[in-house]
Amino acid sequence: MKKGFVFDLDGVITDTAKFHYIAWKELAESIGITFDEVFNETLKGISRMDSLDRILAHGNQENKFTPLEKEALAEKKNDNYVKSLEDLSENDLLPGVHDFLLKAREHQIPCAIASASKNAPMILEKLGVISFFGHIVDPDTLKKGKPDPEIFIKAAESIDIKPEDAIGFEDAQAGIEGIKKAGMYAVGISATETLIGADIQVASMTELDIELLVSSK
Ligand code: BG6
Ligand code: MG
């Protein structure tokens, strides 16, 4: 029996992945770099500064900016991103998420958030679901980002669950890899991408049966 749930945030709990895409695209275009949705997939689950580094490398500008200038670019992207979340509310929870969290609570299954986003607490607050989570891992405390398993191991430990007794939910390839390396059961959530290595994949959380899921090996 599985005993705890670890959730990614962007693209799993709410569709902020599209706002990250829009904000990065705008920032990239302001410095003469273009990228498409295929490249954007490689940014999912990746920290803010690592995402900027990948975008600069994509545009052959990896040596163009000083660390301070890069900080300013990342801040500009984040300011725009945060602005686009102004009206975020419980209506922006992805399908099936609220019911799933209620059922987890009914079954007394502890839940934690393993997101690379420094905006996670603010977003969960706006979505009205922060009280469902026993812990939100602070990405500033991590040595390595996804696909390293550290964030998932920390999340499971924070709710007193061994990784092998936990289920991780992810929409990004880097996240699925991290969950599997942590020794956890991986639920991939995506209607468009094939998530390699996921133990099961669904298009949305409405397809998940919590009783069946916790009995997974
Ligand atoms: C992840 C997103 O959840 O958080 C990435 O998938 C994002 O796209 C990363 O870059 C960091 O987010 P933030 O909010 O700290 O810039
Ligand atoms: Mg995600």
- Sorted by sequence, the CB contacts under 8 Å of residue 63 that are 6+ apart come out as none
User: What is the CATH number for 39?
Assistant: 1.10.150.240
User: Averaged over 104-126, what is the pLDDT?
Assistant: 98
Say if residue 56's pLDDT is above 90.
yes
- Sorted by sequence, the CB contacts under 8 Å of residue 70 that are 6+ apart come out as 49, 52, 53, 56
- pLDDT at position 124 is 98
Q: Are 202 and 116 in a shared domain?
A: yes
Q: Is 148 a catalytic residue?
A: no
Say if residue 23's pLDDT is above 90.
yes
Rounded to whole angstroms, the Cα distance separating 15 from 21 reads: 11
- Sorted by sequence, the CB contacts under 8 Å of residue 20 that are 6+ apart come out as 10, 43, 81
Domain termination residue (choose one: 84, 107, 126): 84
Domain termination residue (choose one: 31, 50, 84): 84
Q: Is 10 a catalytic residue?
A: yes
Q: Are 185 and 143 in a shared domain?
A: yes
Q: Are 183 and 101 in a shared domain?
A: yes
Say if residue 164's pLDDT is above 90.
yes
Q: Are 104 and 202 in a shared domain?
A: yes
DSSP structural state of residue 91: G
pTM attached to this predicted model? 0.95
Domain termination residue (choose one: 66, 84, 102): 84
Q: Are 131 and 78 in a shared domain?
A: no
Q: Are 211 and 195 in a shared domain?
A: yes
> Is 70 marked as a binding-site residue?
no
Structure tokens at 196: 């390699």
Q: Please check whether residue 186 is in contact with residue 202, taking contact to mean a CB–CB distance below 8 angstroms.
A: no
Say if residue 21's pLDDT is above 90.
yes
Say if residue 68's pLDDT is above 90.
yes
Domain that holds residue 28: 17-84
Q: Are 111 and 189 in a shared domain?
A: yes
Q: Phi/psi at 58 (nearest 5 deg)?
A: -60, -35
Q: Are 108 and 180 in a shared domain?
A: yes
Q: Are 21 and 104 in a shared domain?
A: no
- Angle, to 10 degrees, between the axis of helix 150-158 and the axis of helix 173-181? 60
Question: Which of 49, 70, 72 has its CA nearest to residue 61?
Answer: 70
Q: Are 174 and 207 in a shared domain?
A: yes
Q: Are 207 and 126 in a shared domain?
A: yes
| pLDDT band for position 217 (cuts 50, 70, 90) | confident
Residue 69 burial (CB count, 10 A): 10
Which residues are close to ligand 2, an ion, with C-beta < 5 A? 8, 10-11, 171-172
- Structurally, the chain folds into a number of domains equal to 2
Position 186, amino acid: A
Pick the ligand that lies closest to the CA of residue 173.
2
User: Averaged over 180-200, what is the pLDDT?
Assistant: 97
Rounded to whole angstroms, the Cα distance separating 134 from 184 reads: 18
Q: Which atom of ligand 1 is nearest to the CA of 171?
A: 6
170 forms bridges with which residues in the sheet?
188
User: Averaged over 42-59, what is the pLDDT?
Assistant: 96
* Ligand 1 pocket, residues with Cβ under 6 angstroms: 9-10, 20, 43-48, 51, 78, 115-119, 172
ipTM at complex level = 0.98
| pLDDT band for position 96 (cuts 50, 70, 90) | very high
Q: Are 98 and 53 in a shared domain?
A: no
Give the residue, by CA position, lying nearest to ligand 1 atom 14: 117
The rounded Å distance from CA 143 to ligand 1 centre is 16
The rounded Å distance from CA 10 to ligand 2 centre is 4
| pLDDT band for position 81 (cuts 50, 70, 90) | very high
Beta strands 166-170 and 185-189 are parallel
User: What is the CATH number for 101?
Assistant: 3.40.50.1000
